[in-house]
Chains A and B, each alone.
Chain A
Amino acid sequence: MMILVESPAYLLDSGFLLSFGCVLGMGLAAEKICALAGAEKKWTKALVSPIALQLVTLPVMLKFFGEVSIAGFILNLLVLPSVGVVLTGGMAALLLGILSIPAAKLVILPARVLLLFYEYLCSLAGRSGWSTWIGGEPEIWQIVVYYGFLIIVLFMGQYIKEQLRKKKAVSEEMELSEERAEAGCWKLYAIRITAGIFLAVGILILGFHPAGSLKVICLDVGQGDGILVETPEDHHFLIDGGSSSQSELGRYCLLPALKSQGISWLDGILFPIQIRITSTV
């Protein structure tokens, strides 16, 4: 209540949505997805909960950045548990640094080694071409449908969780006949499979971009041209895309634009022969 009362605009802020989405994912979705995936042990839970988190924040990521890091799924498994070491290393170095710098240097060493490791992971992820999924900016209806699917899946998870608990309680009391157990298992499997299908469909809907018509987007690149063409055959071309008045155009304008359109591959970049307009005009 506090943040939104102070400034309601935060409701649509990427930082706000991601931060709260993460906590929601951890708090609400994680255990249900875990039950759905059949993760009961501690380490399997640790593996599955980041997935739950990603599922919750997926539309937000796509809406604001146009892409989702797939490599992040795996990397985070390594990074998240160890980032505490980096943090405490840095903090300890800060406190020790007040007294003596060499001691701080020593304390921060393990953290620096870890950072080196992260860097290595990053470059590894960067080399493999599939590290990110460029889904493009989804429409509002796509997001709504996706969350609808997700909620159904979460209810399924809840149901499975209760079933499992009941089964546990019953099995403790008496031995079950094998038939009933098998039937129960089949039922659960069916739910799990449908949940999986629901999720897949949801994600596909989220990343769905209707093709089939010619689409031309003229980008505002300042002094210069930047025209993005999408043909009915789903080919993409960029015309020019240089600017003499804006710096780092690629990073701030072209890449976000391409990502928001869900374009991960350009079939060609066309450079018109430069026409000099004489100043007599």
Chain B
Amino acid sequence: MKKTILIICVAAACILFGLVAFIGLSGKNKNEEQQYRFYYINSDETRLKEEKYTPEKETTEVMLRNFSESLNNRETREDGISLFPDGVKISSYSIQDGVLNVEFNEAYDKMSRTRELLVRAGIVKIFLQVPGVDSVEIYVGKKPLTDTRGEEVGAMNNDTFVEFSGSDGDVYSYDTFTLYFTNKNGDKLVAEQRSVRYRRNLPKATVVLEQLARGPLEKGHYPTIPENSEVLSLTRANGICYVDYNSVFQDYALDVSEQIAVYSVVNTLIAATDVDKVEISIEGNKEVTFGQNMQLYKFYEWNDSCWHTQRLKKNRKNKTFQNIRKRENIYGEKADVSFVFSYGAESWRTGAYGDSSDQGESPSVKCAGADRSAPGSMICGEVEQYENTEFSQSVYLKKTYLIHQSKKFPIENVRIFLKKEEDLKPGMRILVKGTLKRVEGPANPGGFDSQHFYACRHIYYFMKNAVLQKKTAVYSGYRQLLLEIKESCRQILKEAAGKDAPVFCAITLGDKQELDPETQMRYQLAGIIHILAISGLHISILGMGLYNLLKKMGLGIWPAGIFSLGVMLQYGIMTGGSVSTMRAVTMFLIAMGARITGRIYDMMSALSVTA
């Protein structure tokens, strides 16, 4: 087991280094064909560097000799090291049918895996410049070079590598998406992260569906939709995504329940884009019944119920790479392409993206356990309060900063909706990533003006589909205590009051979450909704009651007043501190103060102070 992990790790490193090396190498030899290049390694041993090279004569024989001599002499420049490490030498070479066989001494095998990859890439790059050489095959001693699996690497040429011509970042985007595949039984969805490089002008929805059809790369994940199902059209409007599939989607059934197929598409789309609902049609026909009982003429929303619980594992990074390698096997790649995603170029469907015949232009795939899990903005802030609704966990952040290019910009408070429930405590500072959205005003006459409502609370932006990145361990013990007290109060009420518990929760704890909207509506119609909100009535009854009780118990005006004040303040904070509560508490504070100091309490002046 340990050994496999080691191998996987090495492979992972190879992929990374190789990638870096090839991004560095790419795009040069096309426009300057007549110039020859020699390669050496940068001082960090992470990538190849190139320099101009002038052979004595431009013939095959002379150039081969020149190159191998230069290599064996370990020629280099000041800012780098030679391609070959000490001891490694080309012992002989021969050319046959355009295939150059390069034979190395045994020291070749002693090189580190990463160095070997750089060396191999350098060799291939160098010798392919020689006229008459179409591919390069490496031998160590008399044996052909093998990869980590013990398989022959075989002949290599430039096509072995997918080159990223897009060093200009404008044409391409690079994002990590969450795709939803299924487990072995085909009854649950499993999430898989995948980083994809794609042309910027492609909609993300198209990219993720394409990736979804390609199937999973991780072990234990199984495809949900047929590989050759094709998206005929894709439209987005009003937060709804309309997907039109070809009939393959329906006809060619996989071993998964129809629900899994539909929701893998729906969840993937919702996770990757900002749509809330998805409608699927098949060849323009909406009134299809998919499978036995999935009506397609319907808007599908995010579904959590068919989620597989154990989805994020620690060794996912390793697994991912292991599966890339497996995948290569399936595709029958001869070369050890551990640092090259050749399948990325070869298997992208041509039609969908136009000129994907050009390798450089085609979207390449990198499936790495990158930290980036969702596109969007990154913010950090302090948890003020949170509530768990039936759809998501909502957190109010204060002292919030927007993080842009590793700089912090202070912004107003933000209310975020977490995709997944997290164990949070008030006072924690958290780092989240998601899509920031302005709070919208009412769209219709008479509609609730949430823009104004949240503006009062200094909230101008919501963050939807937020993913927690980091959280601090420290939290406010005091506020957590208040929350716990509230929670235990709720439990007591639940047991004591039975079905009336939600009403009592609202009246005593100011918590309307569980209150049935129907009940609320009835109270509203009858004009007595105000008893369900904590207001002056509550505060004065409770506060004065407590004060009088304490005074009867023999406490003086001072201690009784101070004590009841303290309790009411805590109570006000615990119940959520709505504006009417705060008004009542402040006025109670003034009234108590007047009583303690023996002055007359004037309601109007107290009111204006509070306002």
Q: Is A123 in the interface zone, CB < 8 Å from B? A: yes
Known A-B contacts A72-B528, A101-B495; the reply to A94 vs B489 at CB < 8 A is yes
Using a Cβ–Cβ cut-off of 8 Å, how many residues does chain B contribute to the interface with A?
67
C-alpha spacing A71/B528, complex, angstroms? 9
Q: Is B598 in the interface zone, CB < 8 Å from A? A: no
CB-CB under 8 A from A3, the residues of chain B are: 579, 582-583, 586, 610-611
A-B contact count (CB 8 A): 206
Known A-B contacts A2-B609, A87-B538, A93-B492; the reply to A76 vs B580 at CB < 8 A is no
Q: Which of A155-163, A172-180, A190-198, A250-258 contacts B (4 or more CB under 8 A)?
A: A250-258
B489 shortest CB reach to chain A, Å: 5
Q: Is B493 in the interface zone, CB < 8 Å from A? A: yes
Q: Does the CB pair B541–A97 fall under 8 Å?
A: no
Known A-B contacts A97-B496, A111-B504; the reply to A76 vs B527 at CB < 8 A is yes
Closest residue to A226 on the B side, CB-wise? Answer: B444
Partner of B445, one of A73, A87, A137: A137
CB-CB under 8 A from B291, the residues of chain A are: none
Q: Does the CB pair A125–B525 fall under 8 Å?
A: yes
Known A-B contacts A1-B611, A87-B508, A87-B538; the reply to A112 vs B497 at CB < 8 A is yes
CB-CB under 8 A from A93, the residues of chain B are: 492-493, 496-497, 504
Beta-carbon contacts under 8 Å, A96-154 to B: 97-98, 101, 104-105, 107-108, 111-112, 115, 118-119, 121-123, 125-126, 131-132, 137
Q: Which of A17-25, A38-46, A265-273 contacts B (4 or more CB under 8 A)?
A: A17-25
Q: Is A28 in the interface zone, CB < 8 Å from B? A: yes
Q: Is B474 in the interface zone, CB < 8 Å from A? A: no
C-alpha spacing A131/B528, complex, angstroms? 12
A218 shortest CB reach to chain B, Å: 9
Q: Which of A8-16, A181-189, A205-213, A231-239 contacts B (4 or more CB under 8 A)?
A: A8-16
CB-CB under 8 A from B541, the residues of chain A are: 84, 87-88
Q: Is A264 in the interface zone, CB < 8 Å from B? A: no
Q: Is B238 in the interface zone, CB < 8 Å from A? A: yes
Beta-carbon contacts under 8 Å, B28-81 to A: none
Q: Does the CB pair A122–B611 fall under 8 Å?
A: no
C-alpha spacing A217/B447, complex, angstroms? 13
Q: Is B603 in the interface zone, CB < 8 Å from A? A: yes
Q: Does the CB pair B536–A10 fall under 8 Å?
A: no
CB-CB under 8 A from B526, the residues of chain A are: 69, 71-72, 75, 118, 121-122, 125-126, 131
Beta-carbon contacts under 8 Å, B422-466 to A: 443-448, 452-453, 455-458
> Chain A 68-83, CB within 8 Å of chain B: the 1/0 string?
1111110110011001
CB-CB under 8 A from A112, the residues of chain B are: 497, 500
Q: Is A169 in the interface zone, CB < 8 Å from B? A: no
C-alpha spacing A28/B249, complex, angstroms? 71
Beta-carbon contacts under 8 Å, B354-375 to A: none
C-alpha spacing A12/B583, complex, angstroms? 15
CB-CB under 8 A from B579, the residues of chain A are: 3, 10, 13, 15-16, 19
C-alpha spacing A86/B411, complex, angstroms? 43
Closest residue to A278 on the B side, CB-wise? Answer: B284
Interface centre among B284, B445, B521 (most CB of A within 10 A): B445
Q: Does the CB pair B446–A260 fall under 8 Å?
A: yes
Closest residue to B242 on the A side, CB-wise? Answer: A279
Q: Does the CB pair B508–A91 fall under 8 Å?
A: yes
Q: Is A201 in the interface zone, CB < 8 Å from B? A: no
Q: Does the CB pair A256–B446 fall under 8 Å?
A: yes
CB-CB under 8 A from A2, the residues of chain B are: 586, 609-611
CB-CB under 8 A from B443, the residues of chain A are: 219-220
Using a Cβ–Cβ cut-off of 8 Å, how many residues does chain A contribute to the interface with B?
80
Q: Does the CB pair B522–A87 fall under 8 Å?
A: no
Q: Does the CB pair A108–B504 fall under 8 Å?
A: yes
Q: Is A59 in the interface zone, CB < 8 Å from B? A: no
Q: Is B135 in the interface zone, CB < 8 Å from A? A: no
Q: Is B517 in the interface zone, CB < 8 Å from A? A: yes
Q: Does the CB pair B447–A252 fall under 8 Å?
A: yes
Q: Does the CB pair A20–B583 fall under 8 Å?
A: yes
CB-CB under 8 A from B604, the residues of chain A are: 27-28
Q: Is B136 in the interface zone, CB < 8 Å from A? A: no
CB-CB under 8 A from A72, the residues of chain B are: 526-528
CB-CB under 8 A from B523, the residues of chain A are: 118, 122
C-alpha spacing A121/B523, complex, angstroms? 9
B511 shortest CB reach to chain A, Å: 12
Partner of B531, one of A12, A68, A79, A256: A79
Q: Is B507 in the interface zone, CB < 8 Å from A? A: yes
C-alpha spacing A69/B492, complex, angstroms? 34
Given contacts A28-B604, A83-B537, A223-B238, 12 further A-B contacts (CB under 8 A): A3-B583, A13-B579, A19-B579, A23-B603, A23-B607, A84-B541, A87-B537, A91-B542, A121-B528, A122-B522, A223-B299, A252-B447
Q: List 24 A-B contacts (CB under 8 A).
A: A1-B609, A2-B586, A4-B611, A7-B457, A13-B453, A18-B580, A66-B446, A69-B525, A71-B525, A71-B526, A73-B527, A87-B508, A93-B496, A98-B492, A105-B496, A115-B500, A118-B523, A123-B522, A131-B525, A244-B299, A245-B240, A245-B277, A256-B447, A279-B285
Q: Which residues of B are at the interface with A, using a C-beta cutoff of 8 A?
A: 233, 238-240, 244, 277, 281, 284-286, 299, 443-448, 452-453, 455-458, 489, 492-493, 495-497, 500, 503-504, 507-508, 517, 521-528, 530-531, 535-538, 541-542, 545, 578-580, 582-584, 586-587, 603-604, 607-611
Q: Which residues of A are at the interface with B, using a C-beta cutoff of 8 A?
A: 1-4, 7, 9-10, 12-13, 15-16, 18-20, 22-24, 26-28, 66, 68-73, 75-76, 79-80, 83-84, 86-88, 90-91, 93-94, 97-98, 101, 104-105, 107-108, 111-112, 115, 118-119, 121-123, 125-126, 131-132, 137, 217, 219-220, 222-223, 244-245, 251-253, 256-261, 276, 278-280
Closest 6 CB pairs of A and B: A72-B527, A69-B527, A260-B446, A97-B492, A256-B446, A279-B284
